[in-house]
Amino acid sequence: MLHLNGLGKRFGEQWILRDLNMQVDEGECVALLGTSGCGKSTALRLIAGLDRQDEGSIELDGEPLDSIPAERRRIAMVFQSYALFPHLSVRENLNLGLKIRGVSPAQRQQRIETVLDTVRLREMADRRPQQLSGGQRQRVALARALLRDPRVYLLDEPMSNLDAQLRDDLRPELRQLILQGTQPVLYVTHDQQEAMALANRIAVLKDGRIEQIGTPEELYKTPASQFVASFIGRPQINLLPVDKQLTIGIRPEDVGFDPEGMPCRLISREWQGASQLLLLDSPRGALRMLCAGDLSLSEPLHVSWLTSAEHRFDAGSGHRLAE
Amino acid sequence: MKRRLALWICLLLVWSLLPMLWQLISSFSTAESLVNGSIPFLQRWTLVHYKELLASDPPFWRYLLNSAIVSALTTVITLALAIPAAYGLARVPLQLRRVLRWITVAAALFPYVLLFLALLELARRFSLGNSLIALAMPYSGLAMPLALLLLTSVFESLPRELEDAARLEGLGLWQRLRWVLVPLLAPATASTAILVFLFAWNEYPIALTWLSRDELLTLPVAMARIAGSSIYSIPYGAYAAATVLGSIPLLLLVLICQRQIVSGLTNGAIKG
Ligand SMILES: Nc1ncnc2c1ncn2[C@@H]1O[C@H](COP(=O)(O)OP(=O)(O)OP(=O)(O)O)[C@@H](O)[C@H]1O
Ligand SMILES: [Mg+2]
C-alpha cells in the first residue's frame, strides 16, 4: 500500500506540486490525470526517489521511504521517453539490472526468455532500441519494469508516443501484464479515456493539486468542479452560464429531442458511425448534443434535458454546488 | 555545385598535405640533391637518413617510445580524473556550474608556456627531472581543462532519464558510470583522448627543461637536437626523416580511432 502524505515540491520559489494526499492499495491502479505541465511526472519522480520532496512524506506498506535512495527502493518506472539504454541490445537492456542485482546467470537467462515471450519480442532480442518501433520500445520498457520485481509500478504516460490504433491494441496487454499483479500501480496520463479504461480510481490534477479523486464513475457522475467535468467524458460537457452565480453543466449524451423543448439551429454535425455529434445554436448558447448515428434530422430541432442530469457549479470558483 | 565543392576539398587537401609530401620526399633524398637542383631525378634517392637515425645512439625509435609512454600515461591520467570530474560538474546546480565553467575556460586558454619556469622550479625542488612518469603529471594537469570542458558538455547532453532509469534498476554511482554513462560517452571520450595524446606528443618547452638525459628525450626535443646538431649546415634530410617517423604513430592512432573521432565530433562533443 502506497501512501502519499501532503507531498509538495517546488523549483525555486514556485510550487510545482502541493499538498498531494493519496493512497494506492495493493493491486489497485490509480491514474493521475492532468494537463501538460501540471506536475504528474514530478510526482512520480518524488515517489521513485529521483527527486527529493520539499514537504510531506511517502510511505510504502507502513514504512517511510524518504531515507531510502532510489537505487534501493525497488520501484519500477516506465518513463515517458522509455529511457532504454541505446548502447545495449534489448536482451542486454533487460540483463543489466538483473546482473547488478546479483541474479545468477542461469536464472537471468530464464527470466529474460520468459519475459521476452510475455511481451512478444523474442525475435527482436538482439536489436538495439533505435531499430525498434515505438510500440516495441514501450514493450521493452514494460519488460524491464516487470523484471525489476518491484513493490510499486509507476507508469509515466507509457502510451503517449503511440498512435491511437496501437494504444487500443496495447491497452489489454498492459492490463494483463501489470495491472493484474498485487503491486500498487500509479498510471500517469493526460488521456481521460485511457484513465477511465485502465484505472480503478482517477486523481485529477490541476496546477499541482488534486482537484478530485474517485472512481471513474464518481468523476463522471459527480464532478467536483467545472475543470473535472470538462476533463472527464467525451464529447466535452456543455457549460451554460445561468447568471452571475450559477453555471450548469449538461453532458451531450443527456440532451434529447423533445417537441416541447428549446428550439435550436443546427450549426454542424460530426458523424461518428454509431453516433453523431451535433453542434447546436440554442437560446442559451452553443450546445453539443449526442444522438444516434442513423437519425435523420429535420429543422427546426427542439431539445431538452432532465433537471436531474444537470450539474450545478458556482460560476465564480467553479466548484460544484450542493444538490 | 558538387564539382565546386570537390574542387575546394582538393585545394584544401593539397594545402594541408603538401608540406607532408615535401617532408616525405626530402627524407628519401640525398643531402646533396636537397641543395643542388641539377642532380638527375633518378640519382637523388637514398635511405641513408633513416639508417643514420636508427643507428644513432640512442636510436631514434627510443624517442618514439619515450613520447609514446609519456603521451599514453598522460591520456590515461587525464581521462581517469576528467571523466568523474566532468560527471560531477554536469550535476552541480546551474549557477555554480557556470562559474566553474568560466574558470575552466580561463585555465584552458591560459598560455601554459608562462608556467614553465615555475614548473621547472617544482621539478628541481621535488627532483622530478629526468623521469617520464613525472613528466606526465604536468602534462595531464595542463590537458585537464580542455578535457573537462569537452566531457562536461557531453555529460550535460545525455538525457537525464537514462541515468534515472539506471538508478531505478539498482545501479549505484560507479556502476552507472561503468555500465551506462562511459559506454555512451565512448565516442566523445575517444576524441578527447586523441586531443590529449596529441598535446603530450607535441609538447616542447616542459620536456626540454625537465629532461636532460639522452635516452629519456621525447620526440620534439630530440627533433630540435637533430636540427641544431651541426652549426655549419642544417641537416634537412635527417630532420625530414625524423618528422616522417614521428608522425607515423599519430597517423596510426587516428586511423584506428577514425570512427569514434568522427562520431564524437559530430555528436556535439565540441560544443559549449
Ligand atoms: N528541473 C526543473 N526545474 C524547474 N522547473 C521544472 C523542473 N522540472 C519540471 N519543472 C516544471 O514543473 C512543472 C511540472 O513538470 P512535469 O514534468 O511534472 O509535468 P507533467 O505533468 O509531467 O507534464 P507532461 O504531461 O507534459 O509530461 C512544469 O511546469 C515544468 O516546467
Ligand atoms: Mg510528464
Is pLDDT of A241 > 80?
yes
Q: Which three cell numbers stand for residue A70?
A: 532510489
CATH number at residue B198: 1.10.3720.10
Q: List, chain by chain if needed, residues with CB within 6 Å of any ligand 1 atom.
A: A 11, 16, 34, 36-42, 80, 190
Given a cut of 50, whether residue B271 has pLDDT beyond it is no
Find all residues with CB under 8 Å of B221, minimum gap 6, and list them: B204, B207, B208, B211
A214 touches chain B (CB under 8 A): no
DSSP A208: T
What are A301's strand-pairing partners?
A264
CATH number at residue A93: 3.40.50.300
Give which of B94, B158, B167, B168 to mutate to test A binding, by max A Cβ within 10 Å: B168
| Band (B200; pLDDT cuts 50, 70, 90) | very high
Domain boundary among A205, A227, A249: A227
Closest ligand to Cα A51: 1
Contacts of A236 (CB under 8 A, 6+ apart): A230, A252, A288
* Residue B161 contacts A where some CB pair is shorter than 8 Å: yes
| B228 neighbors B102 (Cβ within 8 angstroms) | no
Identify the domain containing residue A32 by its residue range.
2-227
| B272 has pLDDT over 60 | no
Judge whether A93 lies within some domain: yes
**Counted domains in chain A:** 2
Instruction: Test A87 with B162 for CB contact under 8 angstroms.
Output: no
Q: What is the spatial distance between Cα B175 and Cα B179, in angstroms, rounded to a whole number?
A: 6
A61 falls within a domain? yes
Minimum distance, in Å, between the CA of residue B251 and any CA atom of chain A: 28
Amino acid of residue B266: T
Q: Residue A323 domain-assigned? A: no
Number of neighbours of residue A294 by Cβ within 10 angstroms? 9
B223, part of any domain: yes
Give the number of A-B residue pairs with CB atoms closer than 8 Å. Answer: 64
Tens-place pLDDT, residues B9-43: 999 999 999 988 988 988 898 888 887 878 888 78
Distance B95 CA to ligand 1 centre (A): 20
Query: A211: pLDDT confidence band, cut at 50, 70 and 90?
Result: very high
pLDDT digits (tens, 9 = 90+) for B205-233: 999 999 989 889 999 998 888 877 766 77
What pTM was computed for the model?
A: 0.83
In a domain, A219, yes or no: yes
For residues A249 and A222, membership in a common domain is answered with no
Quick check: is B24 in a domain?
A: no
Supply the range of the domain harboring residue B190. Answer: 46-265
A136-194 pLDDT tens trace:
998 999 999 999 999 999 999 988 878 888 888 888 888 888 888 899 999 999 889 89
In chain B, which among 67-126 make CB contacts under 8 A with chain A? none
Facing residue for A83 by CB, picked from B165, B171, B179: B165
- pLDDT > 70 fraction of chain A, expressed in percent and rounded: 100
Which of ligand 1's atoms lies nearest the C-alpha of A205? Answer: 21
Cα separation, B123 vs B230, in Å, equals 30
Say which ligand is closest to the CA of A189: 1
Chain B residues near residue A48 by CB distance under 8 angstroms:
164, 168
A321 falls within a domain: no
Residue A232 inside a domain? The answer is no
Task: Specify whether A100 is located in the same domain as A18.
Answer: yes
Q: Considering the domain boundaries, does residue B132 fall inside one? A: yes
**What is the residue with the minimal CA distance to atom 6 of ligand 1?**
A11
A177 touches chain B (CB under 8 A): no
Domain boundary residue, one of A193, A227, A261? A227
Q: Is the pLDDT of residue A228 over 50?
A: yes
Q: How many domains does chain B have?
A: 1
In terms of DSSP bridges, do strands A152-156 and A185-189 run parallel, antiparallel, or are they unpaired? parallel
ipTM of the modeled complex: 0.87
Tell if the CB–CB gap between A81 and B184 is shorter than 8 Å: no
Residues A263 and A156 in one domain: no
On whether the CB atoms of residues B92 and B100 are closer than 8 A, the answer is: yes
Q: What is the pLDDT of residue B227?
A: 76
Let me know whether A15 and A130 are in one domain: yes
